Structure formats: C-alpha cells, structure tokens
C-alpha cells in the first residue's frame, strides 16, 4: 500500500510540474489566464488532494473517537462547550453595530453573524490565555 501511495504522489507531482510549465505568460490578461486549461487542471489536482486529505483525517479521527470511549466523551464535551460559546456569542451580538453606510451593503442577520464570530474569537482567545497562564500561577503559589 505504501508503494502505491508513493507512486501516486510521484505521478501527481510530475503532472503538476508539467502543468507548471504550461501556465500562461505574465503578459496574458487575467481573464484569459483564468480560463487556461493548465490552471484549471492544477485546481482540480488541488481539490482532489484536499478532498483525500479531509476524508482520511476525518475518517481516522472518527475511527479513533468511536473506538475509545474516553475520547468520545472528551469530544462531546468539547463540542458542547463550543456550542455553548457560540450560543452565548450569538446572544451577546447585536445587529446594529455598524454605521448606516455599511448597513446598506449587507443585512442585519449578516452583521449579527459577523458580531457572533468576533465574540466567539474573543471568548476562545480569553479561554486559551487563561489556560496558558493558570498552570504557571498554580506553580508559583504551590511552592
């Protein structure tokens, strides 16, 4: 199996190298260059490799999670915590955080979702900082 994967990767690499030399010139207008067969083929190879990577990583993660009950419990706690942070962030965000000129470019639900995303980021960053500092503070006071 390992030999097959190595051979497939070598073939894909050679195809990519060949397509690299078939790319359009820098002088070609971007609209024409975007329609190039070489660029489209390179994107297809990228999508294929990305799909394979996602399928295998999710497959192995799910397999490991379901074969280990403690891992499944930890995963459910993490997903539940993330869902809780997302719900809290959605409640905290408002739909009128932008000026009227920008509001004309989007609607209220989009603004609320962006605000929710920012709150999720801020809350998760604060949690990460606390979890990095807490062990150090514990060590200082335990001595």
**What is the pTM assigned to this prediction?**
0.57
- pLDDT value at residue 90: 92
Amino acid 89: pLDDT: 94
Q: Of 91, 81, 86, which is closest to residue 122 (Cα–Cα)?
A: 86
Domain limits, the chain: 1-67, 69-143
In the numeric block, which tokens belong to residue 63? Answer: 């397999």
pLDDT in tens, the chain (143 residues): 788 888 988 998 899 888 888 888 788 887 777 788 888 888 899 999 899 999 999 998 888 888 888 888 888 899 999 999 999 999 998 876 666 666 667 777 888 888 899 999 999 999 999 999 999 888 888 87
Q: Please state, in angstroms and as integers, the Cα–Cα distance from residue 89 to each residue in 22, 83, 109, 125, 128, following that order.
A: 48, 10, 14, 13, 16
pLDDT value, residue 99 = 67
């Amino acid at each position: 199996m390992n030999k097959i994967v190595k051979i497939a990767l070598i073939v894909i690499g050679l195809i990519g190298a060949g397509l690299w030399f078939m790319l359009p010139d820098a002088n070609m207008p971007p609209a024409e260059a975007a329609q190039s067969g070489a660029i489209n083929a390179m994107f297809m190879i990228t999508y294929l490799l990305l799909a394979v990577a996602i399928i295998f990583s999710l497959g192995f993660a799910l397999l490991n999670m379901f074969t280990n009950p403690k891992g499944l419990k930890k995963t459910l706690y993490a997903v539940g915590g993330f869902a809780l942070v997302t719900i809290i962030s959605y409640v905290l965000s408002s739909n009128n955080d932008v000026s009227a000129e920008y509001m004309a470019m989007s609607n209220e639900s989009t603004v609320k979702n962006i605000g929710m995303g920012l709150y999720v980021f801020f809350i998760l960053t604060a949690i990460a900082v606390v979890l990095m500092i807490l062990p150090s503070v514990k060590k200082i006071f335990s001595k």
